[in-house]
Amino acid sequence: MTEPESLRTAHTFELLPADLAGIRALMDTAFESGFTDEDWDHGLGGVHAFVRAPDGAFLAHGSVIQRRVLYEGRSYRVGYVESVAVRPDRHRQGLGGRVMAALERVIDGAYDLGALSASDAGERLYRARRWHQWQGTIEALTPDGVVRLPEEEGSAYLRSAAGRPLPGPSGALIFDWREGDVL
């Protein structure tokens, strides 16, 4: 009988260098080398959820980190989902859902709401898990002031954390600044 694939959660500081290297390799494979060093940095410093095969290979991963989002004069503590990927040969087997369920438990317990930026490939998973596409504008609080990011509009999804109300459904979400892609 084969050992089941294990799901684990851990904060970045709990992961060994070999774990981080394995997760980064999964990201590079899943995103066909389109995963940048800035993308990698964005997924660190929070809670990781991952599925490993019995041989230790990383099959799926996602992380949730804290960000601040302003909406109508209020600052929200947001659990922002990053670095979600499933090994290409394991797509559509429920691994992404297992990872997201673990991350959503973290969001429910620690944040005002969840947010993420969905790729075209990921939209189906997030919609099925009751994430809602943001219909308003996306902006960032940059070193030069608030800047609208029209190229990011349509990719942002929000999720209520533990039944709290979502902002909106329209207006501007103003995200904290970071290097690379803001969302």
pLDDT, tens only, 117-150: 998 888 999 999 999 999 999 999 999 999 999 9
CB 47 within 8 A of CB 106: yes
Rg (CA), the chain: 16
Residue 156 pLDDT grade (very low, low, confident, very high; cuts 50, 70, 90): very high
Over range 153-172, report the average pLDDT: 86
pLDDT at 4: 63
For the chain, domain boundaries: 6-176
Please state which architecture CATH assigns to domain 6-176: 3-Layer(aba) Sandwich (3.40)
Q: Does the pLDDT at position 114 exceed 90?
A: yes
